[in-house]
Structures are given as C-alpha cells and as structure tokens.
Amino acid sequence: MVVKKTEKEKIKKITKEPKKKTGKEETKLKVGKSKPEMKIFNTLTRKVEEIKPIKKGEIGMYSCGPTVYGRAHVGNMRAYIFADTLRRVLEYYGYKVKHVMNITDVGHLTSDADSGEDKMQKSAREERLSAWDISKKYTDIFFQDEKELNILKPQIVCNATDHIKEQIELIKSLEKKGYTYRTSDGIYFDTAKFKKYGDLAKLNIEGLQAGKRIDVGEKKNKTDFALWKFSGENEKRDMEWESPWGKGFPGWHIECSAMSMKYLGKNFDIHTGGIDHIPIHHTNEIAQSESSTGNKFVNYWVHSEFLVLGEQEKMSKSLGNVINLDTIKEKGFTAMDYRYLCLGVQYRKRLIFGEEVLKSAANSMQRLKNKIIEIKEDNPKIIELNKSSPESKKYLEEFKESVFNDLNTPKALAVMWNMLGDNKVNNSEKYSLLLNFDRVLGLQMDKLRKEEIKVDDKLQELLKKREEFRKLKKWQEADKIRDEILAKGYTILDTNEGPKLENLGK
Ligand code: AMP
Ligand code: ZN
C-alpha cells in the first residue's frame, strides 16, 4: 500500500517510541483481512475479470454436457472436472450456485458444422441398438465415471430429447423475427442478420464468407447453421418429431440455448465448455439466443483447454486414440490420481497426458495419503480455522487467493504441500485445513486412510508358516517368507496381538 506523506506523518505523531525488538516479530504473519475478489478468464473479453453476479450471492452456471453416443474419454472428463472445480470454488467463495448441464442425445452431427450423420444414429447402427438405448447406456456410464471422479452432480441435468417443445418454440420466435430460412434439408439461421456474429471467437467473417462458393450448398452463408433438420425421405430414424416445418429433429446448438434459458433465464452468469466450442457451438448459441431475446445471453464464457497426447495430438474418438477411466484403472491408477493430475495443470493450459505424468500424480496421492495417516495417528481435532494460529491462517489465505485467481489449482496444491511440511502448524490445524481445501480439490481426503487389508488365503498361509518358523527359531526360513510377503506389496508389523500386515501402497 502506498501511504501518502501526510498520513505517514500522522502515523509518526501517534507512535511515541519505536517498540523494542523481541525477536518474535517474524512469527507475526500478516493475514489478509478483506475477502479476495473471485476472478476468471472471460473468453468474451479475453481478460481475467472479477465475477459480478446478476443476483447478489447467486450464480447461474450452464455447462455443455456430453454427447452420449459413446464412452467419454479422459479428455472429455477433464472438461467436467474443470466445470466441477469452478462450481466448487464459487461455492467455497460463498455463492449459491445453480448448475445446469445438458445431455446431448440428439442432433450432434459427425461434423460440428452441420454435416454428416447424427452421432447417436451412427452409434445405434454400429452397436445394433436403438438410439434411445445408446443414450441410456452411455449416460449411465458417464455418471458412473463422474461419481468415481467425485464430480458433484449439477442440480439440473437435462436431455435434449426432453426439451423438443422448448427448442421448437425458440426456432418459431427466430422465424417470426426473420432470422431463418428454409432449404431442402432443414431450417437454417441466417448468420448475416446477426451483426455480432463471431465476436466470441473473433472470427474473421469476411474471410470465412469469401470461401463460401466452395461448399456452401443451399446455405446463404458458410457460417449459417441448422436449427431444425428434416428426416430424410428414406431415412429410418429412432428419434424424430413433428414440427411446424416437417418431421425431423433439432440441430445441436439450439438445445443449449433453449435449455439454458429455460432453467437460468435469458441472461445468466457463466457458461462453460471446452475450447473447441468457441468458434461454432458457442458462437451459434449466442447468435440464436441474443437474436431471439434481444438481450445479452451470458456474462462470462469460460473454456477449458484440451488434454493432448504428446505436444499436439488431441485425444478424440475420431482419431481412435482414446483412453477412458477404465483404461487407466486397468493400469493400476485410481480416479483420484487422474483428478489430481487435472488439478496440477491450470484449466487454461494444455494437459499433456501420458503414463509418466499419471505416475507422478499417483505418487503425490500416495504421499498425501501417508501424510494423512501420520496426522491421524495424532488424533487430530477439527478446529475452527478463524481461531487457529497465524501460520495456519496464512496458508488458508494463500489457498483462497490461488483458487479465487482464475482457478490456479497448481498453486493451491503447492500451498497445501507447504502447509503439510510446516512444523509450526500442528496436526489438528493441518487436518482441518486439508478438509477445508478438499471442498475445492475434491480428492476425497476424508477417505484416505490406512487400507484394511483383506488377507487372502495364500497370504494367510504364508503368515502362519512364518510364525511357525519363528517359534522354531528358524530365522532364515522366516525371513525368506517375509521377503515373499514384501514382494506382494505388504510389510509385517509384529505387534503384541500377533503379526499384522500393512499395505506398502503402489
Ligand atoms: P462431446 O461429448 O464431444 O460433446 O465433448 C464433451 C466435452 O469434452 C466438450 O466440452 C469438449 O469441449 C470436451 N473435449 C473434447 N475433447 C477433449 C480433449 N481432448 N481434451 C479436453 N476436452 C475435450
Ligand atoms: Zn452446448
């Protein structure tokens, strides 16, 4: 803080004599008093901005959910861990968050730009199931994965197919205002009529339109997109509905406009998604919503970066290089190892995925577990953090500052490790701080404890044999068995109640 000269002089006047040094000054840590601002990078302005909610104390947040035509891969799950972390941070800050997420179960075509087959129908054909069964199958798996990753379920989860009426109404309102036109395969939005088209992505519209003669087909402009698609004459679709324009199904973008505005209002606070949604999906959501309502649609657009394999390679189903949660579990990693890995990279940075980085995250989780076991042996109490030591308060402030500053989770993790290594913070404070931090990190720290070891028959037999050798003072044989048990990942603790096994972890 810059103190003006006059104020400095005032201070001097009331300070009679400089206090004698006691040597304890260093321990008097400065603890921030005012609440830090909650800031986030807004794609709309390309700036880190303070979040100012529309309604005091409340946040409306919409996240583009999965297209349930196949199993989500770990790249997709990064986007949901990010949205979950944002929601947790907002709640940690004190906001009441209404989180809405859609399930895309119709209308997302194999190309985001309205060409190709409906992903759901394609998958149904390949798996010889109906599109409805495909939707149920992959929605269930998705929520199972979310649960394992400790992602909080949004208060409202809405399927596109349950909101056909709302989507038709929205298209009708656009039609009434003159934003639509008809081609032989559907009803399209005329992007030339929306002056701000492409602002979010800073699209070079002129450049884009210049190429329109190449593959624009019946569309008026290259960037125009389908609001409603007609079922083809010979097409056999599992999902189709009557509409004022003919039998068919909604385009992908209209579902997110219709459902977000239904549950959060015409203008709401935050909309999330992966960065790939910026140039098409979110650009089109803005065009439809704002043309229909005449209002600003969303105040903060927040996008997460990709998970890539190697320097550039994007993980995607179409490239055939996908890894899902089961794949990493088969390799001996846990869902929490993956969550830790995601937290270790700020959401706006690319996450370069591979076994090495996953191993390092798993090691950190093991270290965290060991630390918690050690702390728990001291029977820590849950204490009120505002009554704790200045050191402990300082870590709390640092943690808050990190997560409230554009979700700097890597820094928050570093604060946690510094706190755990600081012997000026006692174990009750450490444990209480960890549980507090975990409201944001979601690493299920309360569940990290010594594993109860289920001793299988083979281990039981080995343990018994070792005891027999020990009774006979056959130390060499007993040690050989101990080594065998060690190789299986356990160590033997000889206690008063007899030998016990302890898991050495991974
Ligand atoms: P989809 O199910 O294809 O609609 O995608 C679901 C979410 O995953 C969207 O928010 C995408 O932006 C995001 N996404 C897709 N691929 C990746 C990736 N490789 N890394 C991170 N996020 C991704
Ligand atoms: Zn969406």
For 484-495, give the DSSP string: HHHHTTEEEEEE
CA 249 to chain CA centroid, Å, is 30
CA distance 221 to 290: 19
User: Is residue 175 over pLDDT 60?
Assistant: yes
Query: Do the beta carbons of residue 448 and residue 368 sit within 8 Å?
Result: yes
The two structure tokens encoding residue 63: 């996240």
Assign 229 a pLDDT band (cuts: 50, 70, 90). Answer: very high
CA distance 291 to 283: 12
pTM, full prediction: 0.84
Q: Is there a shared CATH topology between the 5-17+37-322 domain and the 326-447 domain?
A: no
User: Is residue 2 over pLDDT 50?
Assistant: no
Please tell me the distance between residue 445's alpha carbon and the centre of ligand 1 in angstroms: 28
Q: What is the pLDDT of residue 117?
A: 79
> Which has more confidence, 251 or 208?
251
CB of 53 shorter than 6 A to ligand 1:
no
Q: Which residue from 105, 151, 276, 317 has its CB within 8 A of the most atoms of ligand 1, so it is best to mutate?
A: 276
Q: What is the pLDDT of residue 498?
A: 75
Query: What dotted CATH number matches 5-17+37-322?
Result: 3.40.50.620
In tens, the pLDDT along 406-438 reads: 999 999 999 999 999 999 999 999 999 999 999
Share of the chain above pLDDT 90, in %: 68
Residue nearest to atom 6 of ligand 1 (CA): 66
Query: What residue spans define the domains of the chain?
Result: 5-17+37-322, 326-447, 457-503
> Which has more confidence, 302 or 214?
302
- The terminus-to-terminus CA distance of the chain in angstroms comes to 49
Which atom of ligand 1 is the closest one to the Cα of 305? 21
Q: What is the pLDDT of residue 454?
A: 64
Share of the chain above pLDDT 70, in %: 88
Which atom of ligand 1 is the closest one to the Cα of 72? 2
Q: What is the pLDDT of residue 183?
A: 95
**How much is the mean pLDDT over the chain?**
88
Q: Measuring CA to CA, how many Å separate 165 from each of 155, 172, 179, 250, 259?
A: 22, 11, 19, 10, 11
Q: What is the pLDDT of residue 18?
A: 44
Q: Measuring CA to CA, how many Å separate 481 from each of 253, 368, 377, 450, 455?
A: 64, 30, 29, 23, 15
Amino acid identity of residue 243, one-letter, is S
- Mean per-residue pLDDT for 496-506? 67
Assign 326 a pLDDT band (cuts: 50, 70, 90). Answer: very high
Q: What is the pLDDT of residue 381?
A: 94
CA distance 413 to 402: 9
In tens, the pLDDT along 119-134 reads: 888 888 888 888 899 8
Indicate which ligand has the atom closest to the C-alpha of 138: 1
Please tell me the distance between residue 189's alpha carbon and the centre of ligand 2 in angstroms: 17
The domain made up of 326-447 has a fold known as Isoleucyl-tRNA Synthetase; Domain 1 (1.10.730)
In tens, the pLDDT along 11-23 reads: 333 334 444 444 4
